[in-house]
Homo-oligomer: A and B are copies of this chain.
Amino acid sequence: MEPVPTEQVADFRRFNRYFTRRIGALNDHYLGQDRPLGEARLLFEIAEHEGPDGVSLRELRGRLGLDAGYLSRMTKTLQTQGMVRLSVHPGDNRLRTVRLTPAGRVEVAEQNRRADSLAAGVLEGLDTEQRSRLTEALATARRLLRLAAITVEHVDGHAPDARACLDAYADDLDARFPEGFDRADLVDPEEVSGDAGAFFVAYEEGRPVGCGALRRHAAGIGEIRHVWVHADARRLGLARRVLDALEAEALRRDWTVVRLDTHAALTEAQAMYRAAGYTEIPAYAEHVYADHWFEKRLSR
């Protein structure tokens, strides 16, 4: 991997410093007005992640990276203040789940209102056009920072994460294809494990957010299948990253050509393949969901 130019590192650090000093400090200050920062953050995290059954202490502990004892005490003080209610987890009596009380919800709403007005206070200094340029620049930056944090990893075709991605992929296709999608069309774990092929999962902060499969098609030819990106992670350029990983893997195996097919409904995917250097070819196989076939010759 080529080293990052020091100029870009310096620019990035310059922004980090400016932003954390201006906005980070401001954030902590508003959060810490009524209660300790830790408690405020905890309350906020509960509000953010509670489901119908609340949220388990275990999950909170993982998300916030807190000590079990510390968390236990903090939730207790929130409980005595009437902000949250603790109960045992329905499925597992070792776990406790915590959920907001109406009073807690009021407090979180108040916190949000304050954070909104602080953010608005910052933006007020700009006119409409400048504000939309800022919004756009921040959106671009966030997309790229997210992409930078995503890793694409080689996993076994049987891995639970791999199957979970394929499940989500099948659900997506079932919703998009007019004729629906039959899970029987998914690759078998064996086809994408060991010598037969490979499976890649993209992780963002530990969560699988995309995948792609490669399987042997003929001598020196690989087939790419099931390139998928979670709805929350689209428009980041992640599919391209997955594709790169698949192509690199094909080359590693001396498969110098890769092929793939795609459904007529997936127009963005087709555009992406073309942009990635794939050219359309005649059908190389019968396949129920295939309308277009592509091929790319790989080189090191």
Contact = CB atoms under 8 A, between A and B. Distances in A.
Given A24-B24, A147-B130, A138 B11 contact: yes
A145 interface: yes
A67 B119 CA distance: 28
Contacts of A2: 128
A150 interface: yes
A115 B18 CA distance: 14
Contacts of A237: 130
A139 B11 contact: yes
Interface in A117-138: 119-120, 122-126, 128, 130-135, 137-138
Contacts of A16: 23-24, 27, 119
Chain A interface bracket (under 10, 10 to 19, 20 to 34, 35 or more) = 35 or more
For the residues of A in contact with B, the DSSP-based class is: helix
Given A9-B116, A24-B20, A134 B141 contact: yes
Contacts of A4: 120, 123-124, 131
B20 A142 contact: no
A141 B141 contact: yes
Contacts of A23: 16, 19-20, 145
Which 3 residue pairs are nearest across A and B when measured between Cβ atoms?
Answer: A125-B148, A137-B140, A15-B138
12 contacts: A4-B124, A9-B119, A12-B119, A12-B123, A12-B134, A13-B116, A20-B23, A24-B24, A134-B141, A134-B148, A137-B137, A137-B141
